[in-house]
Amino acid sequence: MTHDYKRNGTATLFAALNTLDGTVISMCDDRHRHQEWLRFLRVIDEVTPSEKVLHLILDNYATHKHPRVQKWLARHPRFHIHFTPTSSSWLNRVERFFRDLTQNRLRRGVFRDVEEPITAIGTYIDKHNDHPKPFIWTAKAADILEKVKRARKALDNRHSA
C-alpha cells in the first residue's frame, strides 16, 4: 500500500474448490457472518449434483461452527465438515487458489469502489473455470513433515528462551 491508499469498502469471498477438476464455486458478500456462510452452503448445495457427498475443508472461524450452521448441516447429511488445525491453512487447497487470485489479479489493482474488485474476482474465477486444472501436491510427505518438525523445534526454542 502507498501513503495515499484509500480503502473503498471490503468484500468477503467465499470459495469452494473442487479438488478433482479444479473448478471453483464462489460468492462475494459484504460480510462474513453465519448468515452469509449459510447462504454460500446453499449455493454449493444447489450447484452440485445432489447424489454427491461433499467434504468441505474449513478453517476454525467461529462462523463455520455457529449453532444455526450446525443445525443446517444436520439437515444436509451429504455435507461433511473437516477443520484444519490452527496455523495450517496451507493444508487447504483453496488457499492456493486465493494466493493465485491475489497475485494474478488483485495485488496492485486500482479499485475505485467495492464493486470493481468483486467484478474482477468474478471475471478471474470465470476464466479459471473455463480451463480448470486440479492442484497437484509436488512436495513429498517426508519433506513436509521435516519442515513441521523444524518449525516446532524453532517454536519450542523461542518459548523456552
Task: Give a yes or no: residue 65 inside a domain.
Answer: yes
Range of the domain at 22: 12-160
* 79 lies in some domain: yes
> What pLDDT sits at residue 138?
82
Per-residue pLDDT band for 135 (boundaries 50, 70, 90) equals: confident
Percentage of residues of the chain with pLDDT beyond 70: 94
DSSP letter at 55?
A: E
| 92 pLDDT higher than 80 | yes
pTM of structure: 0.80
Residues in the chain: 161
Q: What is the CATH number of the domain that holds 98?
A: 3.30.420.10
Number of domains in the chain: 1
- According to DSSP, residue 62 is labeled G
Higher pLDDT, 30 or 25: 25
Instruction: Give 99 or 154, the one with higher predicted confidence.
Output: 99
Helix and strand numbers (H, E) in the chain are 5, 4
Ramachandran region, residue 22 (left: φ > 0; alpha: ψ -120 to 50; beta: rest): left
Between 113 and 87, residue with greater pLDDT? 113
pLDDT above 80 (res 159): no
Residue 8 pLDDT: 66
Would you say residue 7 has pLDDT above 80? Answer: no
